[in-house]
DNA sequence: ATAAAATAGGATAAAAAGGTCCGAATATAT
DNA sequence: ATATATTCGGACCTTTTTATCCTATTTTAT
């Protein structure tokens, strides 16, 4: 099990990538995006479509077309993308699968797990696309693994 | 996405349940286990088999048979069960899916995510079956949701 | 010995996640 | 206007996860 679905992993990477290139509404084609983040092209197409529908990205068809961020998308939090693609079930459902897990009727790890889960949520809420994009631009982190250098 | 697979959720609950009933090598049948933890019976059978193979549980066939904990299993950590069923990929793989994600070539959330992920691991390592079983016995927590009362 | 009661194990099915393919629609540049 | 380049959308495929069913095997009690 992983915390994010593949679709969500690709979404976050794609949006960060576009944020590193959208100084001036520069458009990136599907192929460029999937190359940059190391994701399967056809599957990435579906995901970028979703992000357009969710108003995180804009798309333009035809020659010179491609994808770029929606106007204010540089300032959104990673959490917004997670919500758009995976929903909030990780943050609301019981880790042990209880239909209802509350303070009054908790699962055996509720008390210990909940604060940690909330930390993850806070982390995603407090981390912006802009900040991660800058970090990528500075070379402090990457969106796909490079065999040599970087 | 959830942190544990369904198989792992059921495993943890089943082992805790058996720990609440294995004072004297008391055996519990498949049906009793799946009823107690609210899991599908046939699927639970497969999971209990796995736990027997992993030497967490013992099983006895025939009349009066059933499942109980292996000798020392009351003192094992939840982490042992997670490892046996889901493996350690949650704790070793990159949250954003990078093939290799390290301090020298990290993903954009590596630095913030890793400490939290380690907290979850520590929590699972430091939480024993015995301790959760006692908590269930005291009525402080439950293994399945009860509509009315506790 | 035999019947009954349990788990073990194999085959299979259903649902979800991950992924591909291709034609339709659309925008651009010439 | 037309050819071209691109996204959009639907259908489909594959793998993994979740789940069921049935038969074989083993153990116990009589």
**Cα separation, A75 vs B43, whole angstroms:** 45
Asked whether residue B149 carries a pLDDT value surpassing 70, the answer given is: no
CATH 1.10.3720.10 for domain A6-138, yes or no, is: no
Whole-structure pTM value: 0.95
Predicted confidence at residue A111, as pLDDT, reads 97
How many CA atoms lie less than 13 Å away from B64 in the CB half-sphere? 1
Q: Are B122 and B129 in contact (CB under 8 A)?
A: no
Instruction: Please write the tens of the pLDDT for every residue from B48-78.
Output: 999 999 999 999 999 999 999 998 889 999 9
ipTM for the complex shown: 0.93
Instruction: Please write the tens of the pLDDT for every residue from A19-60.
Output: 999 766 689 999 999 999 999 999 999 999 999 999 999 999
**Cα separation, B43 vs A125, whole angstroms:** 37
Three-state SS for A104-122 is CCCCCCHHHHHHHHHHHHH
Nearest chain B residue to A105 by CA distance is: B141
B50 CB below 7 A from strand C atoms:
no
**Cα separation, B142 vs B150, whole angstroms:** 8
Protein residue minimizing CA–C1' distance to D8: A49
**Cα separation, A97 vs A136, whole angstroms:** 37
Mean pLDDT, rounded, for A116-144: 97
Asked whether residue A124 carries a pLDDT value surpassing 70, the answer given is: yes
Distance A142 CA to D26 C1' (A): 57
Q: Are B64 and B80 in contact (CB under 8 A)?
A: no
What is the distance in angstroms between the Cα of B48 and the nearest Cα belonging to chain A?
17
B97: left (phi over 0), alpha (psi -120 to 50) or beta: left
3-state class (DSSP) for residue B35:
helix
Domain positions in chain B:
6-138
Choose, out of A97, A123, A137, the residue to mutate when testing the contact with B (most B CBs < 10 Å): A97
Predicted confidence at residue B147, as pLDDT, reads 85
CA of B45: nucleotide with nearest C1':
C7
End-to-end CA distance of chain B: 29
Please list the helix, strand and coil fractions of chain B in percent, rounded to the nearest 5, in that order.
55, 5, 40
CA angle B124, B125, B130 (to 5 degrees): 85
- Cβ–Cβ of B123/A112 closer than 8 Å? yes
Instruction: Please write the tens of the pLDDT for every residue from B118-136.
Output: 999 999 999 999 999 999 9
User: What's the mean pLDDT when you consider all of chain B?
Assistant: 95
Q: Would you list the DSSP string of A37-53? A: HT--HHHHHHHHHHHHH
Q: What percent of chain B has pLDDT over 90?
A: 91
- A27-31: Cβ within 8 A, 24+ apart: A27/A60, A27/A64, A27/A65, A27/A66, A27/A67, A27/A68, A28/A66, A28/A67, A28/A68, A29/A65, A29/A66, A29/A67, A30/A66, A30/A67
Asked whether residue A122 carries a pLDDT value surpassing 80, the answer given is: yes
- Minimal CA–CA distance to B1: which of B98, B86, B106, B107? B86
Choose, out of B47, B81, B132, B142, the residue to mutate when testing the contact with A (most A CBs < 10 Å): B142
Nearest chain A residue to B127 by CA distance is: A109
What letters, b where the CB count within 10 A reaches 16 and e where it falls short, cover B113-129?
bbebbebbbebbeebbb
Predicted confidence at residue A147, as pLDDT, reads 85
**Positive/negative CA dihedral, A76, A79, A80, A81:** positive
Structure tokens at A51: 């992000």
């Amino acid at each position: 099990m992983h915390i994010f679905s593949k679709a969500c992993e690709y979404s976050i990477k794609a949006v960060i990538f576009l944020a590193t290139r959208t100084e001036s509404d520069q458009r990136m084609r599907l192929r460029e995006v999937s190359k940059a983040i190391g994701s399967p092209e056809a599957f990435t197409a579906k995901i970028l479509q979703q992000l357009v529908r969710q108003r995180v990205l804009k798309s333009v068809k035809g020659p010179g077309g491609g994808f770029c961020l929606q106007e204010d998308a540089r300032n959104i939090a990673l959490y917004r993308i997670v919500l758009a693609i995976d929903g909030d079930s990780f943050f609301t459902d019981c880790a042990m699968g209880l239909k209802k897990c509350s303070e009054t009727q908790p699962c055996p790890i509720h008390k210990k797990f909940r604060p940690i889960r909330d930390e993850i949520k806070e982390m995603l809420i407090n981390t912006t696309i802009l900040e991660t994009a800058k970090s990528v631009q500075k070379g402090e982190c990457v969106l796909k693994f490079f065999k040599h250098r970087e």
